[in-house]
Structure 1
Amino acid sequence: MRVVLPAGTTETALIDGISAAGAAPDLMAHTPSADVEILAYGEPTAAPVTPVSPTGCPTPAAVTRAVREVIGFDLSVVDAGLARSTTAPTVDLGATPGDDIRASVAVPDASTIFDRAYGFGSSLPDDEILLGETVPGGTTTALGVLTALGEPMSVSSSLPENPIERKRRVVEEGLDASDLEAGSCDGNPMAAIRAVGDPVQAVVAGIAAGALESGTDVTLGGGTQMVAVAALLRHAGVDGPLSIATTSFVAAGQGTELLTTCERFDCELVVTDPGFDGRDHVAMSRYCAGEAKEGVAMGGVLSLVDDGGMAAVRAQFAAVCDRLGIDSNADESIDSSESSDDRGS
């Protein structure tokens, strides 16, 4: 199995009330670069920070890395608009960071990025791939494209209390700035990304479309951000088989809406519970409290773990956290200035 991880940024993440509580804007730009380094090497190498919330919840990259250390999988990282460089090997498609969706144009080269990603996806030699993502602020841009496409669905959040009304106001401002209304981009997914999306969406959708065209099985590893990608693909006329693999943390927050929406887009939904509840480790308890929930292909790679293998993943997750300097008993004492993880907000 090959995991393909597009990583990028959008200035939407810097909007007040959108980023995770306590996140420092100058560090947030490093989050995707740190994520891919953790996944590639087991810890950040060039990135100056490990993305950790003020209460001790580490980036989902730590979970994904733990799974990689237990079961192994090939990895391809795609630069989908990184704001900071990374030492991890990347595929460069010429994407640049996305603008604030409240500007008139958020991703001016959405169509070009999609076409390049399509070419990359169609050239992959694998029989099956798992597509993930890491982009701070990504659920807000997901809500943006879903709204622009006329698809009524809520989105998740890395925060225990989802600031969904704030996200909706931001999306409304973005649509107004682009002279659009809800549903204006029905059947025109690149226009939706261009106006109120992010470059990672164009890359993930393009890779998925190209891979499906070449006969590769595609699983979208993630939560409501991947639902937005599925919507983009269906609005682009891509009708190949799709699966969305996510965590129980996302599914618990979305209720039946997630399943109903996946059925609408003809996507199989796979939900995996890593069994973090009742564990004596702050990282696991913070996930169970509703932080992070998903990202960096976490739900996708967890779905690859055989029955009986989750205990090994939990043990390795604790080991990865220890390697990253995350105290298993840490709590509010963690300095909020060290937090830069906002992918689900």
Structure 2
Amino acid sequence: MRVVLPAGTTETALIDGISAAGAAPELMEHTPSADVEILEYGEPVASPVTPVSPNGCPTPAAVTRAVREVVGFDVSIVDAGLVRSTAAPTVEIGADPGADVRESAAVPGADAAFDRAYDYGASLPDDELLIGETVPGGTTTALGVLTALGEPTAVSSSLPENPLERKRRVVDEALTASDLEPGDCEGRPLEAIEAVGDPVQPTVAGIAAGALESGTAVTLAGGTQMIAVAAALRHAGIEAPLSIATTSFVADEQGDRLEAACERVDCDLTVTDPGFDGRDHVAMERYCAGEAKEGVAMGGALSLVPDGEMAAVRDRLEAVCARLGIEAEGDAGGDPSADATEDGRGP
């Protein structure tokens, strides 16, 4: 099993009220770069930040890393528009960071990114792929793409209280800037992404399309951001079987809407509960309280855990948190740069 993780950035994450309170823009830019280092090495190596919320909730990269240490899987990281360098090895497809969706074109190179990602996905020799993502601002851009495609619009959030109306106002402004109405991009998903998306979306879609074309089984590892990618694939006429794997935290927030969305885009759905409610540790408590929920292929990675092994994952998560400076009682190591983005954990 290979986990492919496109990582990128979008200036949409810098819009006031889209990111978590206290998250400084200069730190937010490092979040995806830090995420991929945690997944690859177990802790940040070159990144100057550790993505941790003020309440002690670590990035989902910590959970995915914990699963990797228990289960073992190959990882390929794709630079899908990183604005900051990372020490993790990356596959380059020439993607640029995304612009603010309220500009006339949020992802000017969406077509080219999709084509290069398609070639990469088609070249992979694996029988199965899990494709995840890390991109601050990702649920807002997902909402933008779903709206432009004319799909039902409900996305998740990495905060307990989802500022959905704020996101909808941003998307309304974005559509106006691109001279679009909801549904104008039906059947033209790359136009939707170019107008109101982010560079991770055409990268994930391209990798998935290329892999599916070559006969590889594909699972989109994530929540409502992956619903947007799946919708883009279906609007592109790709009818191959496709699955989505996410966490119980997303499923609990979305309720019946998640299953309905998966049915609409003809995707099988796997939901995994990591059992965090049974542990007295701040990181797991914050997930149970509704923070983070998903991202960095967390739900897909958890779906790989064999029966009886989830306790070992929880043990490893405590060890990963200790490496990240997150103590069980909630001290995030005293690092003033420790922060997370509201949108960046990406369900």
TM class by smaller structure: over 0.9
Cα distance change of structure 1 residues 334 and 278 upon mapping to structure 2, 3 Å threshold: farther
CA contact 1:53–1:336 (8 Å) conserved in 2: no
- The alpha-carbon deviation at position 332 of structure 1 amounts to 9.4
Partner of 1:31: 31
CA drift at 1:335: 6.7
Partners of 1:222 and 1:34 in 2: how far apart? Answer: 18
Deviations, residues 150-179 of structure 1 (Å, cap 9, x unaligned): 001200001110000000000000000000
Task: Tell me the residue number matched to 2:115.
Answer: 115
Greater than 2 Å deviation, 4+ residue runs: 331-338
Q: Which amino acid aligns with 1:56?
A: G
Q: Call closer, same or farther: CA 1:336–1:251 in 2, change over 3 Å.
A: farther
Asked if the contact 2:117–2:204 (Cα under 8 Å) also holds between the matched residues in 1, the reply is yes
Give me the whole-angstrom Cα distance separating, in 2, the residues matched to 1:137 and 1:302: 23
Where structure 2 has 5 or more consecutive residues not aligned to the other structure, the ranges are none
Q: Which residue of 2 aligns with 1:316?
A: 316
CA distance in 1, matches of 2:338, 2:314: 24
Residue 141 of structure 2 corresponds to 141
Matched residue SS, 1:162: coil
How many Å apart are 1:279 and its aligned residue? 1.4
Residues 246 and 298, structure 1, Cα contact 8 Å, conserved in 2? yes
Task: Give the corresponding residue for 2:281.
Answer: 281
**Post-superposition offset of 1:341:** 3.5
1:272-305 deviations in Å (ceiling 9; x for gaps): 0000013100000000000000000000000000
**Partner of residue 87, structure 2:** 87
The number of residue pairs the alignment matches comes to: 345
The equivalences for 1:47-58 within 5 A come to 47-58=47-58
> Residues 104, 240 of structure 1: CA spacing in aligned structure 2 closer, same or farther, 3 A cutoff?
same
Look up the equivalent residue of 1:309 and give its one-letter code: E
Instruction: Give the equivalent residue in structure 2 for 1:181.
Output: 181
User: What pairs with 1:112-261 in structure 2 (closer than 5 Å)?
Assistant: 112-261=112-261
Aligned partner of 2:339 in structure 1 is 339
Q: Give the aligned CA root-mean-square deviation in angstroms.
A: 1.2
For residues 105 and 128 of structure 2, the distance between their equivalents in structure 1, rounded to whole angstroms, comes to 34
Q: Aligned residue for 2:299?
A: 299
Q: Does 1:75 align with 2:95?
A: no
Counterparts of 1:279 and 1:138, CA distance in 2: 29
SS of structure 2 residue aligned to 1:6: strand
After the TM superposition, which of the residue ranges 330-339 and 302-311 deviates more from structure 2? 330-339
Residue in structure 2 matched with residue 16 of structure 1 by the alignment: 16
Q: In structure 1, what residue type is equivalent to 2:24?
A: A
Contact 1:54 1:331 in 2 (8 A): no
User: AA paired with 1:276?
Assistant: F
Structure 1: how far apart are the matches of 2:272 and 2:197?
27
TM-score by length of 2: 0.98
Number of the residue aligned with 2:101: 101
CA distance in 1, matches of 2:122, 2:298: 24
| 8 Å contact kept, 2:128–2:216 | yes
Q: Take 1:140 and 1:328, find their aligned partners in 2: how far apart are those partners?
A: 32
Question: Alpha-carbon deviations, 1:66-104, whole Å to 9, x = none?
Answer: 000001000000000001000100000000100000011
AA aligned opposite 1:308: G
Cα displacement (A) at 1:232: 0.3
Q: Is the Cα–Cα contact under 8 Å of residues 10 and 135 in structure 1 kept in the other structure?
A: yes
Instruction: Decide whether the 8 Å contact of 1:159 with 1:344 is kept in 2.
Output: no
Query: What CA distance in whole angstroms lies between the structure 1 residues aligned with 2:174 and 2:70?
Result: 43
SS, match of residue 307 in structure 2: coil
Q: Quick one: distance in 1 between partners of 2:242 and 2:309?
A: 25
Q: Partner letter of residue 79 of structure 1?
A: D
Give the secondary structure class of the aligned counterpart of 2:232: helix
Aligned partner of 2:69: which letter?
E
Alpha carbons of structure 1 residues 19 and 334: separation in structure 2 relative to 1, 3 Å = farther
Residue 325 of structure 1 deviates from its aligned partner by: 0.5
Q: Is contact 1:24-1:338 (8 Å) kept?
A: no
1:20 Cα offset (Å)? 1.5
Name the CA distance, whole Å, in 2 between partners of 1:55 and 1:333.
12
Rate the CA distance shift 1:230–1:197 in 2: closer, same or farther, 3 A: same
Amino acid at match of 2:276: F
State the AA in 2 paired with 1:220.
Answer: L
Alignment-mate amino acid for residue 170 of structure 2: V
Q: Secondary structure at the match of 1:174?
A: helix
Q: Provide the residue aligned with 1:40 in structure 2.
A: 40
What is the aligned-residue identity percentage? 76
Instruction: State the Cα distance separating 1:334 from its structure 2 match.
Output: 6.2
CA contact (8 A) 1:243 1:268 kept: yes
**Separation in 1 of the partners of 2:66 and 2:301?**
10
Distance 1:302 1:321 in 2: 17
- Rounded Cα–Cα distance in structure 2 between residues aligned with 1:132 and 1:337: 25
Q: Give the Cα separation in 2 of the matches to 1:6 and 1:266.
A: 23
